[in-house]
Structure 1
Amino acid sequence: MIRALLLASLLATSTNAAAIVIRHDVDDAQYRIPASELPALVDMPGEGHGVLIAPQWAVTAAHTLPRQGRLEQVVINGVARDVERVVTHPGYRTPPQALIDQAMASGEAMLLVVFLGGSDDIALIRLRQPITDIPPIRLYSGSDEPGKRVTLLGKGATGTGADGHDPRGPNRTGLRRAFNTVTSAYGRWLCYVFDAPPDGLPLEGMLGNGDSGGPVLLQSGAQWQLAGLASWKVVQGNVMTARPGRYGQTACNVRLSHYHHWIEQVISAAPQASDQDGSHAGP
């Protein structure tokens, strides 16, 4: 419970997670979209997302996985899909309880941010049956993300940049789409800032609680490519009282170009009987 509260207050995470927070001066209806806009979007149990990247594989942020028990099913395009195995990156780490307790007692989040910045928050999900009627999203492999406009999608908590969102509110709502501009991309992370009007894009937005693992998309010609996955954000002030999703906050996303080789290695490896519950693969 303490971990969930801290992450909900501090991060754009899921099953502790994140969604779309919008401009205060734009009607919410302009952000809402039908599920048919991205049928490859994966709904994790309860909250959080992933993305279908091959007929039998989806990618998600590792912290969206159940903390206890197995991941049995995910929902893709409104249909429950059985999960065969989960492969978590060997570099994924969860914050030690002592660090969480210190952050909760002091209200100071920076040490936790530093810890999270050194973790590989990514996992792959192999489905029992390949999906043949939904085109997977191709991974973006370039290293030129800074300055590019990205598209964000999510069904989690919502609010406006003027007030943020209530970290205790519902973390699964309707599907929304927003846009932002990448400010930095280095190593594991791809980040952007939620700019207040008039500086932001016409449909500027950022992640809120409930959509970790959700897509950060780049458009290449007529094709969408998956550049990132929602992971965490920096919330200024006391983590117990600050509201996530306000203007000026920075969201950092798993940078998939950094993990391209690991993803290919896992997908091309021979299937194993069961790799769930903390299993790892790769260097």
Structure 2
Amino acid sequence: MKWSFLILLVLSFPSSAIIMRHDVDESQYLEFAKDNKSIVTFYGNYRDKEIVEGTGTLIAEDWIITAAHVANYLLIDGKVRFKDSYYKIKKVVKHPDWKDKQFPNDIALVQLQSTIPNSETVALYDKEDELHKTLTFIGRGDFGTGEVGIVGADARLRAAQNVVTETSGQWVRFKFDSEQDSLALEGISGPGDSGGPALLKMNNRLYIVGVSSWQNAEPTEWQEAKYGVIENYSRISYFKKWIEKSME
């Protein structure tokens, strides 16, 4: 699939907690997320209120991977939440070919000033066989359902799953299916989940396959977070060499 990024700039949404099935109890999505030890949340201020800026994933003791459009709003000494503890940012590295308000090369690294106790890092997925794999999304941004869209925000961590429907260059894509075609905990990311991971559990190891970037809402007539939207994640296998070199 080929996209005009000028059109995407106007007609797509940043993929920003988790948007769930409307016919599944929300408690199942909350329970699914509670044991994760790799997800962090970035915070900022808007009109003197603390807000969730985005999500990231620990890939080394003091390194986090996220989206460049999230990193664009992060500052040195900025606030990073893990569980109920907070840490500070030391360094922000955005992909050199990323441009503000555009989605190609939407990937970045954040280094912390200290390591996070009792956390777990995920491995970088380096294969190009992502198609049809079931992956897990995690975040604490805005939440909602595929029937009504975004409902609100409560800063609680949720997790959902989806199946890779397409891979193309630097993208891994998912479709938010309605109940007749969906997984038990089908979902997509919502506002505030940008930069969060698509995770794969394999051989007792957790891998990050993609980073939440943007949502194509053309199939829903531009209604964000509704059944039928297409999620686009930056593909880790495509960016792996840049990631490793930037962390050296």
Q: Within the alignment, does 1:200 sit opposite 2:185 as a pair?
A: no
Q: Which residue in 2 is equivalent to 1:33?
A: 31
| Aligned-CA RMSD value | 2.4
Structure 1: give runs of 5+ residues left out of the alignment. 1-5, 96-114, 269-283
Greater Rg, structure 1 or structure 2?
Answer: 1
Q: Within the alignment, does 1:75 sit opposite 2:88 as a pair?
A: no
Q: Within the alignment, does 1:251 sit opposite 2:228 as a pair?
A: no
Q: Which residue in 1 is equivalent to 2:13?
A: 11
The residue type paired with residue 37 of structure 1 is D
Q: Is the 8 A contact 1:163 1:243 kept in 2?
A: no
Q: Which residue of the other structure, out of 144, 148, 169, is the alignment partner of 1:163?
A: 148
User: What is the CA–CA distance in structure 1 between the aligned matches of 2:143 and 2:116, rounded to whole Å?
Assistant: 31
Q: Which residue of the other structure, out of 70, 89, 100, is the alignment partner of 1:94?
A: 100
User: What is the CA–CA distance in structure 1 between the aligned matches of 2:247 and 2:70, rounded to whole Å?
Assistant: 20
Query: Aligned residues: percent identity?
Result: 35
Q: Tell me the TM-score normalized by structure 1.
A: 0.75
User: What is the CA–CA distance in structure 1 between the aligned matches of 2:40 and 2:74, rounded to whole Å?
Assistant: 20
Q: Is the 8 A contact 1:165 1:243 kept in 2?
A: no
Q: Which residue in 2 is equivalent to 1:63?
A: 69
Shift of 1:213: 0.8
User: What is the CA–CA distance in structure 1 between the aligned matches of 2:37 and 2:243, rounded to whole Å?
Assistant: 21
Q: Which residue of the other structure, out of 112, 116, 139, is the alignment partner of 1:131?
A: 116
User: What is the CA–CA distance in structure 2 between the aligned matches of 1:34 and 1:199, rounded to whole Å?
Assistant: 20
Q: Which residue of the other structure, out of 181, 186, 191, is the alignment partner of 2:168?
A: 186
Larger proportion of strand: 2
Q: Is the 8 A contact 1:218 1:226 kept in 2?
A: yes
Q: Which residue in 2 is equivalent to 1:219?
A: 201
User: What is the CA–CA distance in structure 1 between the aligned matches of 2:34 and 2:199, rounded to whole Å?
Assistant: 16
Change (3 A) 1:68 1:259: closer
Q: Is the 8 A contact 1:21 1:245 kept in 2?
A: yes
Q: Which residue of the other structure, out of 144, 147, 154, is the alignment partner of 2:129?
A: 144
Question: How do 1:101-112 residues align onto structure 2 when only pairs under 5 Å count?
Answer: none
Q: Secondary structure at the match of 2:114?
A: coil
Change (3 A) 1:237 1:177: closer
Shift of 1:221: 1.9
Shift of 1:217: 0.4
Q: Is the 8 A contact 1:52 1:137 kept in 2?
A: yes
The residue type paired with residue 216 of structure 1 is A
Q: How many residues are aligned here? A: 233
Change (3 A) 1:203 1:133: closer
Q: Is the 8 A contact 2:220 2:228 kept in 1?
A: no
Q: Is the 8 A contact 2:136 2:160 kept in 1?
A: yes
Shift of 1:237: 7.5
User: What is the CA–CA distance in structure 2 between the aligned matches of 1:237 and 1:191, rounded to whole Å?
Assistant: 14
Change (3 A) 1:40 1:185: same
User: What is the CA–CA distance in structure 2 between the aligned matches of 1:223 and 1:52, rounded to whole Å?
Assistant: 14
The residue type paired with residue 146 of structure 1 is L
Q: Which residue of the other structure, out of 24, 33, 42, is the alignment partner of 2:40?
A: 42
User: What's the CA shift string for 1:261-282, capped at 9, x where partnerless?
Assistant: 01110111xxxxxxxxxxxxxx
Structure 2: give runs of 5+ residues left out of the alignment. 1-7, 44-50
Shift of 1:33: 2.6
The residue type paired with residue 79 of structure 1 is S
Q: Is the 8 A contact 1:19 1:212 kept in 2?
A: no
The residue type paired with residue 182 of structure 1 is V
Change (3 A) 1:220 1:237: closer
Q: Is the 8 A contact 2:76 2:91 kept in 1?
A: no
Q: Tell me the TM-score normalized by structure 2.
A: 0.85
Q: Secondary structure at the match of 2:149?
A: coil
